[in-house]
Chain A
Amino acid sequence: MPNSARKSWEKYKEEEIVRITDAMRGLGYALDLEQVHIGGERYLQSGQKLVLTGKDRYGKRVVIKGSSRPAGMREIEREHEQRTLLENLPFAYRTFESPRELAYGKRASIRYAVTEFIQEERGFLKYSTEEQFFLALKAFKEQEGAHATTAGHARAVRGKFGILSAEKYLADFGDFVRLSGSHDTLLRAHAFLSEHREIMDGYGGFLTHTDFVPHNFRIMDGKLYLLDHTSLAFANKYEGWARFLNFMTLYNPELEKYLSEYVRLNRSAEEYLALRLMRVYKLGFLVSYYASTLAKTEGNLRSLSEKRISFWLKAMDAILADTQLAQETVDLYKKERDALRSEEEMRRQRVLNQL
């Protein structure tokens, strides 16, 4: 079973790259020979579209998203519709930057979207913590500027963006608990979310990037560009913050502390609670994701999945207790993780996170 998941991904990837290469050639785009983003542990993730890099006929770098599978095609179509809608959203107070779409359509069996490649001077994590703080804060404020509150607003975005309510969060979390074997921490987390259902809904209806991490955005000329629109949803205001802060638990705990403190100092107590609720929710997702990979992995990768589950449950415990995870715990986990990762995955991570 573990090998078959990897083999079927490799086969799909090879065939799809040939199809996308053929489709793009006629439009004047050529794929790069090396595609780091689709190697390593990428096969464990769902998603039936490939995100590739290439060049146009003048040698300018582009990003090509393509798929011949119905689910992948639908994802690309949806992202295109979201872009169009976001440009004309009547109730958005602020807008955010995203790379320009250069081509979109269907050619042979491939649905594709080509966007400009945002060339960074350096990766997000290479900026000083203070610079990272202001860049991230600006991006969060830009997203929060769109708040769908009325029936008319909901009609305008329904079907184009995900709309997440407390009911959905709780139902999802119920699944996370079930998939992860009803661990005590998860049960306590579920009770915590249920108790504050009203807060989860109260701060709902905001535009948020539910996968707001450095590999989904790029910095150019001091502006942050969002690369992946598929994760944009009208949901709890703090879902994007939560994903980002949980990521920073590993990559920049000082930034995690500063942003969390910023919310506590400048926003209401209810908002700070909403942030904690969302962090717990997002960690539940992460734990259940790694629990679901156990069946698809073996050897070092399986041991790594087990370590990850244990680590993120500790992080969840810390948030439930409203404390920060001890740095020694983070350092020990990172050491164990790196020892278990394959070379190919290490390379993919370095490129993804611009390390």
Chain B
Amino acid sequence: MKIVLATPLYPPDIAEPAPYIKELATRLAREHDVHIVTYGRYVEPIDGVRITAVDKRDPLPVRLLRFALTLRRASRHADLVYAENGPSVEFPLLFLSFITSFRYVLHLGDVHALERLEHRPLLRLLHNLFKRRAESVFGELPPERPELIPFLPRPAQEFERYERNWKHHVESFSSLLRHA
């Protein structure tokens, strides 16, 4: 199936949902056709995944419009558009959803963006509207990958838990796909 992941952050960005999206795309690409649409100049490649990035240095209106157009093109014939929260994704997608029959699933992976909404009433309004128009809202975020410390034994149990969480997450994602 064809899946489009729309995200405001992607590695080299370090904050969530950047590492999450990279991991999710890597796992989904084993069975599906995955395309990531994000912001940035340079993006870390993933085998078998197409990544399109809109330059963040463009003026705000230009980059929002470019993101909307890029996403529109990428999502043609897509079975699922999976959008991360955050104004730079929410605004272009909302715009598309009003002028076309664009549908998406919202994932609440950018915790910082959610926290910022508390003090930004306009962005909160945008987010709530975006959330209302989503086909479904998904909040699950698997924990970060355990770190390997060169002079310590590999944390086998933590890795087991990590893999279990991701397996469960991909299963939940697959159920989203079945309903898409």
With a cutoff of 8 Å between Cβ atoms, the chain B residues found around residue A150 in the complex are: 56-57, 60
| B contact patch SS | loop
Asked, given contacts A258-B151, A265-B150, whether A151 binds B57 with beta carbons under 8 Å apart, the answer is: yes
Min CB distance A245 to B, Å, is 13
B13 touching A147, Cβ below 8 Å: yes
With a cutoff of 8 Å between Cβ atoms, the chain B residues found around residue A147 in the complex are: 12-15
Asked, given contacts A201-B41, A201-B42, A202-B12, whether A266 binds B58 with beta carbons under 8 Å apart, the answer is: no
B44 within 8 A of A: yes
Which residues between 187 and 225 of chain A lie within 8 Å of chain B, taking CB atoms?
A: 198-199, 201-203
With a cutoff of 8 Å between Cβ atoms, the chain A residues found around residue B60 in the complex are: 150-152
Show the binding face of A for B, using Cβ within 8 Å. Answer: 93, 129-130, 133, 144-145, 147, 149-152, 154, 198-199, 201-203, 237, 257-258, 261-262, 265-266, 268, 270-271
B12 touching A237, Cβ below 8 Å: yes
B41 touching A203, Cβ below 8 Å: no
Interface 1/0 per residue, B115-153 and A, CB below 8 Å: 000000000000000000000000000000101111100
Min CB distance B30 to A, Å, is 18
With a cutoff of 8 Å between Cβ atoms, the chain B residues found around residue A198 in the complex are: 42
A268 touching B56, Cβ below 8 Å: no
Min CB distance A235 to B, Å, is 13
Q: What residue of chain B has the Cβ atom nearest to residue A274's Cβ?
A: B12
The count of A-to-B residue pairs whose CB atoms sit within 8 angstroms is: 58
What are the 10 tightest A-B residue pairs by CB atom distance, in nearest-first order?
A202-B42, A261-B150, A265-B148, A258-B150, A149-B56, A150-B56, A151-B57, A203-B12, A268-B44, A266-B147
- In the complex, besides A151-B57, A261-B150, A266-B147, 5 extra interface pairs with C-beta distance below 8 angstroms are A202-B42, A237-B12, A266-B145, A268-B11, A270-B45
How far apart sit A144 and B11, CA to CA, in the bound complex (Å)? Answer: 13
Min CB distance B139 to A, Å, is 21
A151 touching B150, Cβ below 8 Å: no
B44 touching A151, Cβ below 8 Å: no
A151 touching B148, Cβ below 8 Å: no
How far apart sit A154 and B57, CA to CA, in the bound complex (Å)? Answer: 9
| Selected A-B contacts with CB under 8 Å, 23 pairs | A129-B151, A133-B149, A133-B151, A147-B14, A147-B15, A149-B13, A149-B39, A150-B60, A151-B56, A151-B57, A151-B59, A152-B60, A154-B57, A201-B41, A202-B12, A257-B150, A258-B150, A261-B150, A265-B148, A265-B150, A266-B147, A268-B11, A270-B45
A149 touching B14, Cβ below 8 Å: no
With a cutoff of 8 Å between Cβ atoms, the chain A residues found around residue B15 in the complex are: 93, 147
With a cutoff of 8 Å between Cβ atoms, the chain A residues found around residue B13 in the complex are: 147, 149
Q: What residue of chain B has the Cβ atom nearest to residue A261's Cβ?
A: B150
Min CB distance B52 to A, Å, is 16
How far apart sit A270 and B43, CA to CA, in the bound complex (Å)? Answer: 10
